[in-house]
Amino acid sequence: MGLAADIAVQRWSAVAVLETAWRDPAAAAAVFAGEPYALLLLSDGSAGGRWSYLLRQPERVLTVGGGAPAVALAEAAALLGPPMRTHQGGPPFQGGLAGLASYELGLAYEPAVGARRDPDWPDLAAGLYPALLAFDHIERRVLALGRGSNPDQAKAGAEAALDWLAAAAPPTPAAGDLAEAFEPLGSAPAYRDAVADVVARIAAGEIFQANVARAWGGRLRAGRAPYDLMSRLAADSPAPFAAYLRLPGLAVVSNSPERFLKVGADGRVETRPIKGTRPRGAGPVQDAALAAELAASAKDRAENLMIVDLMRNDLARVCTPGSVEVPDLWRLESFANVHHLVSTVTGRLAPGTGAFDLMAAAFPPGSVTGAPKVQAMRVIAAHEPPRGPYCGSIFWAGFDGAFDSSVLIRTAAFVGTADGWRFEARAGAGIVADSDPAMECDETEAKIAAIQRAFGARTLRALP
C-alpha cells in the first residue's frame, strides 16, 4: 500500500452512527433540492429496497466530460482508495462516492460505436460524501453517519448530518400542471418505422435485439422546479430505485424500477435486468389477465433471455470463472403502472478487481442496449440523438468496496436555461425478430405514463 492509499485509509478510517426517529426522506431532501450535488436515493420500502439515502455537501467532486472519459472510472476508484471497515449493523452505504454515469460514458469502453455525446451532460459527475442520512423503511428509523480520521471527527460529521433533518417539513406537492407542454419529440409513425428497421436488421442477421426509445419534452411552468416532479412521483408511483440529483444547471429525476449492478463488500455481484412489459389493468380481472399474458409470453421470455445471456457475458469478464449463475429467471414483478419480467444474474468478483472494473465491463446496461451490445449501440445511435442521463446510471460506491446502481429508465433530464427549465424524458422497447411496431409503440406509452401524468397529463397535448 502506497503513501496516498495510507492517507486515504487514515482519513476515513473512523465511522460514527447516530439514530433518530423516522422522517420522510422525500420531505427531508426537498429543503436541499436546489443545492448543487444534493442527491436523494429513494427506495419504495419493498423487500429489495429497504434503505433510502440523502447526500449533500460532498468534500470533493469528480466531473468528466467528453474529452477523456476512458479514465473516468479509474479516477473514481482512485478517489475512494482501498476498502476500509464499516459500522456493524449499519446500512449498506456508509459514505463514499455517488453520482451520475451518463449513457455516453459507455463510448469510452465501446469506442467502435462511434456515437455522438450530449453536449449538455458530463459523462460522469459524482461527489465524495463522508456524511449522509440513511432512512430505514423497515424499522422506521433514520441513521446519521459520519466518517473522519478519528472518532471525534466522525461524530462531528454524523451530528452535522443529523442537523439536516431540523429543516424538514411535511411534503406539500405542488398543485396544478408542472409543465407548459409534454410533447413527443418525433412522431409515433416515425418510431414505428424505426422499429420496422430494427426488425429488418435482425432478419438480416445484423443483431438479435436492440432497445430503441422515443422522446418527449417541454418546459416547466414559471415557479416550478425539477424536485416538484420528484415529489409527485414519490407520492403517486414509488419505485425501488428512484433518485434525484442536482448538478450545476442540471437535474435528474428518476423513477426507475431496475437495478443495474450491485456489489457486496465481500465481492458478490448481482444484476437484475428487466425485459418484458405489460400495462396494469383497469381492474383486478384485467390486471391479472395482463400479468398472466406476460408471464406466458414466449416472445417476452426470449427477449429477457437474450439480455440475461448478455449480462452473464459482461459479468464473466471480471468475475471468477464458474461463479456466474442465473438463480432467478423470468420473475413477474408488478409496479404502479406496469408489469415486468425480471431475471437475476449473480457472480463473484475475481481477486484484484473492484466495482468500477465491473462497471467498465458492463456499461451501458445490457437491458437498454441489446445484443450483440456494440452493434445494438450502433443501431440505437442511428435512430436516436445522444441519450445523456437516459439509460445511464445513478450509483453509489462505498468506502468498504460495496456498490449499487440503477438503470436510468422512467427518467426526466432537466437543463436550466435563461427561460427556465427544459426537460426530456424517454421510453424504449426491446425490439426482437417478431416485434410488432404498433405494439412496441404502445409499450413506450405505457412506460412513460407515470411521468406524463406527474407533469400534468390532463391538460397537456395527447400522444399521437
Cell numbers at residue 347, please? 457472480
Give Cβ neighbours of residue 73 (< 8 Å, ≥ 6 apart): 124, 356, 357, 359, 360
Residue 333 annotated to the active site: no
pLDDT confidence of residue 285:
86
- Residue 304: the pLDDT is 85
Whole-angstrom distance, CA of residue 230 vs CA of residue 233:
5
> In this structure, which amino acid lies at residue 85?
R
SS3 35: coil
The residues with which 421 forms a beta bridge, in sequence order, are 416
| 96-133 pLDDT, tens digit each | 999 999 999 988 877 767 678 888 999 999 999 999 99
Q: Which entry of 104, 155, 262, 275 is annotated as an active-site residue?
A: 275
Other C-beta atoms lying within 10 Å of the C-beta of residue 392: 31
Position 244 scores a pLDDT of: 98
Beta-sheet strands, E only, within 22-140: 39-42, 51-55, 60-64, 96-101, 124-129, 131-136
Q: 261, exposed or middle or buried, with CB in 10 Å at 0-12, 13-18, 19+? A: buried
> Please, are residues 356 and 76 in contact by the beta-carbon 8 Å criterion?
yes
Question: What element of type H or E holds 305?
Answer: helix 298-316
Tens digits of residue pLDDT in 325-371: 999 898 888 776 778 888 899 999 999 999 999 999 999 998 899 99
| 3-class state of residue 212 by DSSP | strand
Answer whether the bond into residue 372 is a cis peptide, omega within 30°: yes
Q: Which helix (H) or strand (E) holds 184?
A: strand 183-184
Q: Give me the residues of the chain with pLDDT under 50, please.
A: 1-9, 458-464
Interatomic CA distance for residues 223 and 371, integer angstroms: 44
- Concerning whether 258 is annotated as a catalytic residue, the answer is yes
Catalytic residue among 258, 384, 424, 440: 258
pLDDT of residue 8: 45
